[in-house]
Amino acid sequence: MTSFIVLVFQLSILIMSVVIHEFSHGWMAWYLGDKTAEYYGRLTLNPLKHLDFFGSFIVPLSLYFLTGGRFVFGWAKPVPYNPNNLRDQKYGSAKVAAAGPAANLLIASIFGFSLRFLPAANVALYEIFSLIAVINIALAVFNLIPIPPLDGSKIFFDFLPYPLKNLRAFLERYGFLILLLAIFLGLDFWFIPLISFIFRFFAGRGMPFL
């Protein structure tokens, strides 16, 4: 595929993947009794309701050119929900947080396992399915990092013992700066190998790029 076609496919796949990610948060909150996402019109797969100009366009386009087209990443506007409305007050927030990455991993597993049965000669379809799997794995893995404002922090906080509440306060205050520092210091050293490992687990072979 030409570079332009790759860019179009990567951006399209990323947009739909982050939309499904955010929709899944809203759906889980709705399932657990909170209607906030539905009230704000966010319980939908319509991309226009979820896209963030910076996270859905500027960041992925910048990454595309910075990495020579090897990788894109981004995000959508967070789906609002009220944890006080959830039926499960103990682990409800963790379930809502986990729903997004879980949806991405489900998509990755479907397209990853499909690669095992694709004819070797169908190179274009193989690359498209691989892109879908890799982008969704990346979204899931990155969002499961237990540092605010990522989903992993909400899961982590729900299981954090009360005596460690000061750690939560510290991470909520400085989490974004810690995350930026981690990215700057080489988060990709373990991030990309982990994506590759999960892809190989699903597809039974290595990634055709990265």
Residue ranges of the domains in the chain?
Answer: 3-203
pLDDT, tens digit (0-9, with 9 covering 90-100), for 160-202: 888 888 888 899 898 888 887 877 776 667 788 899 999 999 9
pLDDT given at position 7: 75
HSE-CB at 84 with a 13 A cutoff on CA atoms is 0
Is 127 known to be catalytic? no
**Which residue carries 């860019």 as its tokens?**
7
pLDDT given at position 78: 87
Whole-angstrom distance, CA of residue 136 vs CA of residue 14: 8
Partners of residue 76 on adjacent β-strands: 51
Please answer whether residues 51 and 31 qualify as being in contact, where contact means their C-beta atoms are separated by less than 8 angstroms: no
pLDDT given at position 69: 60
Please answer whether residues 37 and 43 qualify as being in contact, where contact means their C-beta atoms are separated by less than 8 angstroms: yes
Whole-angstrom distance, CA of residue 134 vs CA of residue 128: 10
Q: CB under 8 Å to 119, separation ≥6 — which residues?
A: none
CA distances from 158 to 78, 152, 189 (A): 19, 10, 28
The interaxial angle of helices 92-115 and 3-31, nearest 10 deg, is: 140
Q: Which residues of the chain have pLDDT under 50?
A: none
Whole-angstrom distance, CA of residue 149 vs CA of residue 138: 16
Whole-angstrom distance, CA of residue 105 vs CA of residue 124: 22
Whole-angstrom distance, CA of residue 57 vs CA of residue 89: 36
In this prediction the pTM is 0.88
Whole-angstrom distance, CA of residue 178 vs CA of residue 173: 10
Residue 76 has phi, psi (to 5 degrees) of -115, 175
Q: Which of 22, 38, 127, 172 is catalytic?
A: 22
pLDDT given at position 73: 67
pLDDT given at position 57: 79
Express the helix, strand and coil content of the chain in percent, nearest 5 each: 70, 0, 30
